[in-house]
Amino acid sequence: MSRALVFDAYGTLFDVHSVRARCDALWPGKGAQLSQLWRTKQLEYTWQRSLMRRYEPFSKVTRDALEYCCAALGLALDAGKADTLMDEYLRLALYPDAKSALEKLRGAKLAILSNGSPDMLDPLVAHSGLRLDAVLSVHELRAYKPAPQVYQLAVDKLAVPKEQIEFVSSNCWDALGAKSFGFRVCWINRAGAPVDRLGFTPDRILEGLATL
């Protein structure tokens, strides 16, 4: 067993598309489309800002992405609606198998390593009730995954050699970024998608967290 298991947060432990119901309540019939585009643009902005070395916290990236997506879809967004949807990110639903999976793995160090900024990530984890040894944010590095220094943060903070860390993510690009860095990786492939062509393959591919 690995001495530490490090989890991505958004999309791995927490369902980012649990915002869809609130989106649909604000704009009936548009919830699924907005949720999907919002997530796509959110990720694009993290990569673009890292490449430009123009870091902004994940909370700003997420709000900027929301504003773009509403403009693109022709949805009227005011400050009240934006605040309502941003608040949803502080209480995203856990995937049904997340809590029991982490409890089963207790004995190894358990941590989150996330693009989330502390103003979003800390309230989310507190609301979830998850018991973790560390909640690590890219914020102190001012760079987003899959930059190698982000994965090094887990090594430094947990004081565990990278060869003894398994990284778990539902985002294939993130899992492969961790593999490139030198972690053993597990890709949670809930959708049955093909592996990204980035020159690496995950050590394990699972359909969910229950079989970790």
Residues serving a catalytic function are 8
Identify the bridge partners of residue 187 per DSSP, sorted by sequence position: 169, 205
Q: At 98, which helix (H) or strand (E)?
A: helix 98-104
Round to whole Å and give the CA distance between 89 and 197.
30
Rounded to an integer, what distance in angstroms lies between the CA atom of residue 17 and that of residue 1?
32
Between CA 196 and CA 58 the distance in angstroms is 24
| Whether the Cβ atoms of residue 95 and residue 102 lie closer than 8 Å to each other | no
> What type of residue is 210?
A
How far is Cα 17 from Cα 19, in angstroms, rounded to an integer? 5
Taking the CA atoms of residue 12, residue 138, residue 105 and residue 193 in that order, the dihedral angle to the nearest 10 degrees is 30
Six token digits for residue 2:
């690995």
DSSP-based three-state secondary structure for 201: coil
Are 193 and 186 in contact by the 8 Å Cβ rule? The answer is no
Distance of alpha carbon 11 from alpha carbon 194, whole angstroms:
17
